[in-house]
Amino acid sequence: MAPDEMIHLTRDPLPVELLLKIFLAANEIPEREQIRLAMFLRIASVCHQWRQIIFSTSGFVNKFTMTHRLEKGEGPLARILERGQSWLALSDPLPCTLKVTLNGHKLCDEHPPLSLFQPLFLSISSRLHDLMLVGHDHYWEELLATLPPLPNLRTYRSLSSCGKQTQTLDLTFSPNIPWSELTMLAIRERYTVHIEDPIESLFRCPNLTTFYYRCSFSEPTSTHPIVTRSPQQFLHLKRISIDLDPGSAGDTIILLFQSLRLPALEDLYIKAETWETVDVSFVFNKLYERDPFKLRLLNLEGITIHVDSLTNLLSVLPFLESLELCSISCPYDALLRNLIFSPKDKNPMLPRLEMVTIRQREFDAGVGTVVDFVESRWWVDDGGSEREPSLRTFKLVGGKLDLKEKVLLWKSQGMDIEYKDEGWQ
């Protein structure tokens, strides 16, 4: 920007609301962290008004993201950490976000000295709100043990990237983290012998609103007995995402449902690449009987489930608005037939369903079944019908059906249709 342009802006400043929208849009542009930091330093140097907006608004200078490969050595890492400390100091006293990733082939064998990280963490310990640590769980556990308490931490993500499967990566339960105050917890393990780990992590965090757990490999259930416990109620937990390996997927899902009471649950994602049939309808129904929740979004990926089991599961979800099925082993023709809406039914299944997404390599439902399903749940409101429109979006990827004419008709009537009959994504 030319100097005369800067002078013009300072004499005739734009409204603060408009400037804020511009800066927020710039903050959403995907760039490397170093480029993003330089951009906002240049913006802050234009004038006092711009500097005040940048330094007083959450999301600009109160977050720092860094990635370091251990092969580069301790010198570059020390400089990155110093830059992060200086940058986050600009946002004091705003709550801050820190995301640290350590990677490289030395990750599981050699680690940088803890003293390199301590100054940065000590400088923000009282206002750290969102923390993500990617690397070796045990290293972060050692680091957190050397720090003072983090009283304002609300979001914690511990994501293991160690490739060794010969070592059990225990969940990091540092006493310096206010577990009972966390609202979001995300844990990714590469290896575990304890399928109760996700349950144990949940029980430490009664005020969670979001929980994410992923495990890439686990021992067979027969090598480790399952410990049962009384269900615990989570009044605020709305979103659960579980991504499991084939070894113990079914047992972990069942154990999860048996151990929890979730009256506020709205969003559930389960990915379990298992070749064994997972019949979760019984325990899921029991979960619903304990606390009738209002699940709005259900996403199932990779599981093998009997059509009657899935139908029974959906039958207890009267508030479901979005259903996404990806690569599940289930007869879709029978499932969609079970879900055809009839206005004569006093208690129709999924009466509020607005969006259906199916991504499937082998899709066995015929054209007639798909058309009957869609048209039974969506219609043109002529103003005289007492029924409210329900299904608004239907996406089918990999179906390889001849639906082009129907899709054109549905689109002309205002329905949001995404249909891909070739290829697989």
pLDDT in tens, 293-341: 899 999 998 887 888 888 888 988 989 999 999 988 888 999 999 998 8
Report the pLDDT value the prediction gives residue 420, as an integer from 0 to 100: 72
Rounded CA gap, 240 and 224, in Å?
Answer: 25
Q: Is pLDDT above 50 for 424?
A: no
Q: Is pLDDT above 50 for 80?
A: yes
- Tell me what the mean pLDDT of segment 123-148 comes to: 86
Q: List, in sequence order, every residue forming a beta bridge with 188; answer none if it has no partner.
A: 159, 214
Report the pLDDT value the prediction gives residue 299, as an integer from 0 to 100: 94
- Tell me what the mean pLDDT of segment 389-411 comes to: 82
Rounded CA gap, 420 and 98, in Å?
Answer: 40
4-43 as b/e: b if 16+ CB within 10 A: eeeeebeeeeeeeeebeeebeeebeeeeebeebbebbeeb
Rounded CA gap, 286 and 185, in Å?
Answer: 25
The terminus-to-terminus CA distance of the chain in angstroms comes to 43
Report the pLDDT value the prediction gives residue 325, as an integer from 0 to 100: 93
Report the pLDDT value the prediction gives residue 391, as an integer from 0 to 100: 84
Predicted model pTM? 0.81
CA 179 distance to own-chain centroid? 19
Q: Write out pLDDT tens, residues 156-204.
A: 988 876 544 333 334 456 788 899 999 999 888 765 545 566 677 788 8
Crossing angle of helices 367-377 and 404-412, in 10° steps, is 10
With bands split at pLDDT 50, 70 and 90, how would you rate the model's confidence at 349?
confident
Crossing angle of helices 48-56 and 16-27, in 10° steps, is 60
